Every structure is written in C-alpha cells, then in structure tokens.
Homo-oligomer: A and B are copies of this chain.
C-alpha cells in the first residue's frame, strides 16, 4: 500500500516525514477553533493523518506504515486530540484496512466514520461449524434485486450489541468448492433480521455474542469485492496487522506483573519449588518481551521478520501457566470467585477480577484469534517451508462436503 518509490528498506524517506509534518501543520491550523473532539478527528482524517499509510483521500498520505508512530507523535505534539482505537477495535484493526484495499469510492467514505468513532464495527466471521476453518462458513446470502438476503448463525462476536455495522463473510454459491463461493459484505446491525444473544463463557459471563441472521438485508452497494471473492477479501482482513506504536510492554507487564506482585505481597504459600516455577515464567515473559522489542526494532528499520508469528503462542502459554500458578499459590484465597451470574461486561481485562477468573479466561487465549495449533501449522508451512496438511476440501462443491 505504500506509495514510496524507494527500495531502501528503511522507515520512510525524508520526503514522507516532510509530508506528514506539512499535513500536521495544516490540520492544526484547520482545527484551531474546534472544541469538539470528533470534529478534530474529522480534520485529521481529511488531512490524511488517520492512517498515514492509506492512500490520499482515504485518511492517509500514502507513506510507509512504519511512519504511523511518527505521525501519531507529531499529531500529539501539535496538541490535537486523537481517537482511542480501542473504542472501535474491529473498525480500526480489521474493517478499515480491508475497505481501504477493496472498497468502492462510496464505501471508502465509511473510513471517516470509523476514524471519528461515529460508526462502530463488529465482525461476523466465525460460525459454529467454521472455527479455525473460516472458509467453511455456511451463512447464506441470496441475491434479491439490488439487495442480498442473509440467513445463518455467527459466533464469537464481541461488541455486537453496540455495533452499527459488521464485516460479514457469507456463502453465495454452495455449488463451487468452499473457498470460491464466499462473498464479503458490510451489513447494518440495526435491523430486524439481526438478533444478538450473549454467548455465555466458562467464566459465567457473556463476553461474546452469537448473532442470528434471519433474512437480514444488505444492499449490493455494501458488497466488498466481487461476488465469489469473499475469501480473498477476508484474508486482507485477517492479515491486517496493526502497526505497533512505541517500544512495547514494560517489564512485568501483563499477567506476570499480577502474579509477581501477589507473590511479593504474601509469604503464605511460598515454597522454593513454586518460586522456581514462578521465576521460570518470569524468564519466559521477559524473553518474550525482549523478542517483541527486537521485532519492533526490525520493523522500525524496515526489516520485518516472521518471528512475530510465534508471539501469540508464547503469550497464551505463559498467560495460562501464570494464571494456573496464581490460583494454586494462594490456598483458599486462590479459589474465591465473585459471581457466576450471567452478565454482559462492558469492558474486561484478562488480568482483572480474581485468580479463578484469570485462570478460566486464559484458557481462551490459545483459541481466540487463531488457535495455537493453527499458528504452529502456519509457522511450519509458511515460515519453515514444510508440506501442507493433506486436504480433500479444496475441490469438492461446498454442498457435497461432509460437515
């Protein structure tokens, strides 16, 4: 997506940073009298400072993605408000990069709404029968004049109850092999055919949703990419990696910090063996942090490596091991819970609540966002060049596949 024409593997040319500096000056001038944050964000978008690597006119300046951190700092230095991406995670992280690549001119107007937080997005990808194997989605979309009618069930949708629009993968042709019959849409969540139900988790609460689509309507103008091109579009979504800003987590960030603090504050259940176990996890967490630092430095130097693909595997293992130790090392206090009541949390933290919650919630870390098994497969095949798994599902019409 970068429009820089230099082959030098660096973070961006001097011309690029100059372009950013100029845009920031112009935006600061334009926003001088604005008091409403959203209005300021609109100005930033209009000056190409939303995602600087996006094309001009789509919230960007067409410079290298590695300059996002530079731009973010420049806008901040100019005293301008910036939106918190965590308030529209799917919008920023998944919808925007996909729309920027595959969207029509009309669809690209949504980018401004995403950036200014005026339209919140959620994701309708996974289904009960399509977990790791996303291409197995069975939710049907059928053409109906200028519209499509969508029927099916989606799962693991966070924020569905508060979302305005969803990115949606559907099956439009069951007579061709499964990767070929998919189509990608941007569907309005606030309509009668869309029902959202909490999906209760082993923690007792409903952090995610099931979404039932029953003859829900999406206009053909909200189709992203061609009919039958849904798999390719979805891969743009899944491959969108948010550019990390800053130099990574601090030492003892995350679960290790919680457990180390607990250990320091109580001597009740200490033993040399548990201490050694804790220190083993401390080492793992610190080595992961160091690896992330190296990766960031490589990225900043324009030399990204494949090493990042292992980070999630290590993260989930360490989070699971630590939360397990945390529960075990506290005696009865490690067993206390707050409530098993089915609730819809407005926000949550993997390191929050209590040891039981953290232990149970961490079990999902090796599943959500790509199971450990899938990631190890990807590393083995894409990075190490080992043969792919034997597959029989690539050439059979979807409707004829055993499910």
Name A's B-contacting residues (CB within 8 A): 271-273, 276, 390
Contacts and interface: CB of A to CB of B under 8 A. Distances in A.
A281 to B, nearest CB: 14
Contacts of A273: 272-273, 276
Chain A interface mostly:
helix
Nearest to A391: B390
6 contacts: A271-B272, A272-B272, A272-B273, A273-B273, A273-B276, A390-B390
A389 to B, nearest CB: 8
A396 to B, nearest CB: 16
A201 to B, nearest CB: 29
A192 to B, nearest CB: 44
Q: Which of A271, A272, A273, A390 has the most CB of B within 10 A?
A: A273
Contacts of A276: 273
Contacts of A390: 390
A129 to B, nearest CB: 19
Contacts of A272: 271-273
A276 B276 CA distance: 11
A349 to B, nearest CB: 32
Nearest to A276: B273
A272 B276 CA distance: 10
Nearest to A275: B273
A272 B390 CA distance: 47
A271 B273 CA distance: 10
Nearest to A392: B390
A367 B276 CA distance: 32
Contacts of A271: 272
Which 4 residue pairs spanning A and B have beta carbons closest together? A390-B390, A272-B272, A273-B276, A273-B273
A40 B273 CA distance: 59
A272 B272 CA distance: 6
A204 to B, nearest CB: 33
